[in-house]
Chain A
Amino acid sequence: ILNVEQSPQSLHVQEGDSTNFTCSFPSSNFYALHWYRWETAKSPEALFVMTLNGDEKKKGRISATLNTKEGYSYLYIKGSQPEDSATYLCADDYKLSFGAGTTVTVRA
């Protein structure tokens, strides 16, 4: 049983469209939430570390929000590009629990 859940498991996006997906985690004993991007044949790379309720982080066209009271985080990709194709993982730092990931495929 995963403590951290991500949905959807996969999604296909047309190039130029925006998309978002969810990470839910136990709200008790919250410490930090990490987002990673894992491209095929590469190592997972850190995107964001989020700690405070209401946090919003941004890196280029990718942004994330955090709600620690209800236990969820959203990752947004604006104007998706083929290079955004990857599996996006979130992790609950307290239990070192990773979600199963959301695999994003951007179609040109």
Chain B
Amino acid sequence: NAGVMQNPRHLVRRRGQEARLRCSPMKGHSHVYWYRQLPEEGLKFMVYLQKENIIDESGMPKERFSAEFPKEGPSILRIQQVVRGDSAAYFCASSLRVMKGDLSGNTIYFGEGSWLTVV
């Protein structure tokens, strides 16, 4: 899937534990997005980050969820004190740039996903 790397692919956590999902964007991409797909649902936007900045977190649950994209290293989506309802597929995506009038930069490429199961 166009070079966006996610790990782990599958993660099992007990209720109350922490889940940490990692994403390395495509080479040259500085914009990272996290989406979540619950069973039988479409993909829902969670958060949009650039290096060291959270640009839009309007889709993030208010509690227990956080995301970062440090200057060095992958983007991390962290879920604290997981509950059964957090079980879902979490997809990371990246894009080249966001420039008004340059719509080709708006194409977002997805990773393979991380499947979180909370038991």
| Chain A partners chain B | no
Q: What residues make up the interface of B, taking CB atoms closer than 8 Å to A?
A: none
